[in-house]
Copies of this chain bind each other. A is one copy, B any other.
């Protein structure tokens, strides 16, 4: 009997079926404001998934009809610009909720979401969570606060895009990655991006991103091993202009 329970728990863990009410990452987002009963109800209808690097969660123009809770991994939110280039609008990380906008509007998604590395996510259908929005003032206030924060960040990104040089923006990205993700054992950035991803994050040509990273390397700000990047002089990067 004990063996069976153990085996069951193990299986649940292996296929990612941790219950919402026990899940650690809910601490980091608006779900923390839900009552235990509601979390249990939501847990019953959520879908857990593992997503491989490079897989698409959803595309621009699709209906989402729910929120994704990022349990592990990183994904990039991309928009294809009129001139055919991809722009990474933001990175979504462990603990973040993805698709809040779909809860309050019926619009199609404005962005495409693609996994940057192995991800573990839970999908909660809109229908299941919509009631909480109208009945639980704390939850909707929390949601408002999240959006307000995202809006402030977006405004700052606009200013940076408009006013800073490509080199500054690239330095900013490195600083951001360094502070947002734990470095690995060897001191490399915790997220591995392609040079093209870097270019699409700062809005420049891939060659330009490569060139500037090479320059950073020559000047001793970073070192690289293949795609992996190690920050050697964080304060120096912050001073770049």
Contacts and interface: CB of A to CB of B under 8 A. Distances in A.
B105 A202 contact: no
Interface of A: 79, 81-83, 85, 87, 89, 100-101, 103-105, 107, 110-111, 133-135, 137, 140-141, 143-145, 147-152, 154-164, 202-203, 241
Contacts of A152: 101, 107, 110
A15 to B, nearest CB: 33
A87 to B, nearest CB: 4
Contact of A87 (B137, B162, B203): B162
A82 B82 CA distance: 29
A148 B149 contact: no
Contact of A81 (B81, B107, B137, B164): B164
Given A89-B158, A110-B155, 16 more contacts: A79-B155, A79-B156, A81-B164, A82-B163, A85-B163, A89-B159, A104-B145, A105-B149, A133-B141, A133-B144, A137-B137, A147-B148, A154-B154, A154-B155, A154-B158, A162-B202
A79 B159 contact: yes
Nearest to A201: B162
B140 A203 contact: no
Q: Most chain-B CB neighbours within 10 Å: which of A100, A107, A143?
A: A143
A134 to B, nearest CB: 4
B79 A148 contact: no
A132 to B, nearest CB: 11
A158 B159 contact: no
A143 to B, nearest CB: 6
Nearest to A89: B155
B81 A159 contact: yes
B141 A134 contact: yes
A137 B134 CA distance: 5
Contacts of A100: 148
A144 B110 contact: no
A153 to B, nearest CB: 9
Nearest to A203: B162
